[in-house]
Amino acid sequence: MKKTIRTMGFLFSFLFIALCLGTATLFAAGSREHERVSSGSRTVTWWHSNSGLRGQATDDLVAAFNATIGQEKGITVQAVYQGAATDITTKLRAVFQSGRAHDLPDIAQVDATGIIDVRASRELVPLNNLAARDGFDLSVIEPAALQSLMYKDTILGMPFNNSTILLYYNKTAFDEAGLDRAPRTLSEMADYAAKLTRRKTDGSIERHGFANVPTTYELVSWIGQQHVQQNGVSYLTDKRNGHDGNPTKVVFDENGTMKTFLTQWRKVWEAGGLANLTSGLTGEFAAGKVTMIVASTSNLTTILQTIDGRFELGVAYFPRVTENSDGGVNIGGGSLMAFDRGLNQTDAAWEFIKFASSAEQQFIWLEKTGYFPVNLGTYDLPETKEFLARNPLFQVAIDQLHDSNPALYGLWVPSAYQIYYVFQNGIRDFLENNRDIDATIATLSKEITTYLDDFNRANPE
């Protein structure tokens, strides 16, 4: 025990020092930035979370801006990779708490997990204000994407890297099993997973039919698609899932949606083809060890490259919980949020935000990453039409988005990643230990409500 305590003490000390060094680095970067602005140049700093193929696409986007609009207007964008989306939120929160607005970036890429930390910031310049100052017509932007960023009467940021969740399947394995289309419901998923699972002679599983342990990401759609068409958008928590204020309680326990979902999910498990994998799904799928996964639109390019022709890829709509679950899917991904850090250059930040969300740049972003375009003008470009004709798999997410209810919002809650793991751990325990369904829902509700209560006590509205 003492050794454990000493080890934890070392880890906390290390994390504290790392946080201090990281914050000091941010502050130093902010000071250098201030010096550059004072000398007459305008350098816009953009904190982003794009790595791999997305990171290369980000570098190309910034280079294109700096060589064109940026050069014309005397603006240079400096893209700074800050790690995962949650790392950006952590660093933004540290700057907010320090009160040093100069150390904020001019633009940050923020996803649903970080919005509750950002939306009350005094330095945040909402998209409404940026667009109104410039006379920019927001009707060119995907309406559902704008609506997904609505907090009360304000659109917080510009949609940028938006996605939906899709079903990816090994079409070659489907053909071998005599399956000619993707499953449409979880009941069909159970049947398919059992047929596609392959066992060794000793009875152990060589290939699973399906792999997933649901988190917030999947549940936003699986719970929301049951409820949003008839009953509105407060389906995981109250306050329209956090879009009308701080959520105070979960509602999936009282509206019956979680019970319906878990009932169907247990059928998939009991059919024998479900693997409770929590990481490495793309690799297992590409290696042929799993036949179906659900993942973001943005994984499409990476999955195609990882498969590298070993089998034919199929892409289909995210399966429904039941035939009556017709709300569709929510929009995921991130947005570009602008901050006024006292350097009088939000107009420069806005120039880049307009460029990144333009029809032409959104086509390039689609082609390189798989994220669907947020600018409606992208669909009218000849190069977009030609690309989608050659790559019909990229069309599936676009069709699914336009077939979904735009009121199917994402979830904005505090402690987003802790809640993510509450869902995942609770559902895995429900299956592997054959827990009672009502007791499982009560446990999920109690644990998540604890996080909401803690936040509301510290941040009363």
In sequence order, what are the beta bridge partners of 334? 111, 161
What angle separates helix 52-67 from helix 300-307, to the nearest 10 degrees? 120
3-state secondary structure 233-296: CCCCEHHHHHCCCCCCCECCCCCCHHHHHHHHHHHHHHCCCEECCCCCHHHHHHCCCEEEEEEE
Which CA distances in Å does 169 have to 124, 303, 320, 400? 41, 11, 16, 16
Q: Does the model's pTM come out above 0.85? A: yes
Distance CA 165, CA 401 (A): 10
Distance CA 21, CA 103 (A): 14
Domains along the chain with CATH numbers: 42-162+332-380 (3.40.190.10), 165-329+408-458 (3.40.190.10)
- Pair 330, 410: CB distance under 8 Å: yes
> Hey, what amino acid is at 54?
R
Structure tokens of 17?
A: 């020092």
Q: Looking at residue 40, what is its pLDDT?
A: 56
Q: Looking at residue 379, what is its pLDDT?
A: 97
Q: Looking at residue 421, what is its pLDDT?
A: 96
Tell me how many degrees the CA angle 138-227-316 measures, rounded to the nearest 5: 70
Distance CA 50, CA 92 (A): 17
Distance CA 67, CA 71 (A): 6
pLDDT by 10s per residue, the chain, length 461: 333 334 344 333 433 334 433 444 444 444 444 444 444 579 999 999 999 889 999 999 999 999 999 999 999 999 999 999 999 999 999 999 898 999 999 999 999 999 998 998 999 999 999 999 999 999 999 999 999 999 998 999 999 999 999 999 999 999 999 999 999 999 999 999 999 999 999 989 999 999 999 999 999 999 999 988 777 788 899 999 999 999 999 999 999 999 999 999 999 999 999 999 999 999 999 999 999 999 998 889 889 999 999 999 999 999 999 999 999 999 999 999 999 999 889 999 999 999 999 999 999 999 998 899 999 999 999 999 999 999 999 999 999 999 999 889 899 999 999 999 999 999 999 999 999 999 999 999 999 999 999 999 998 88
Distance CA 160, CA 107 (A): 12
- Pair 334, 50: CB distance under 8 Å: no
Q: Looking at residue 15, what is its pLDDT?
A: 39
Residue 236: φ, ψ to 5°: -100, -45
Structure tokens of 441?
A: 């829902």
In terms of DSSP H, where are the helices of 334-415?
346-356, 359-369, 382-390, 393-402
Which CA distances in Å does 67 have to 45, 75, 78? 16, 10, 13
Distance CA 50, CA 82 (A): 9
Residue ranges with strand state E in 50-137: 75-81, 107-111, 124-125
Residue 310: φ, ψ to 5°: -70, -30
Consecutive H or E run containing 8: helix 2-38
Structure tokens of 460?
A: 């009363």
Residue 71: φ, ψ to 5°: -65, -40
Residue 131: φ, ψ to 5°: -70, -40
What does the DSSP 8-state code read for residue 371?
P
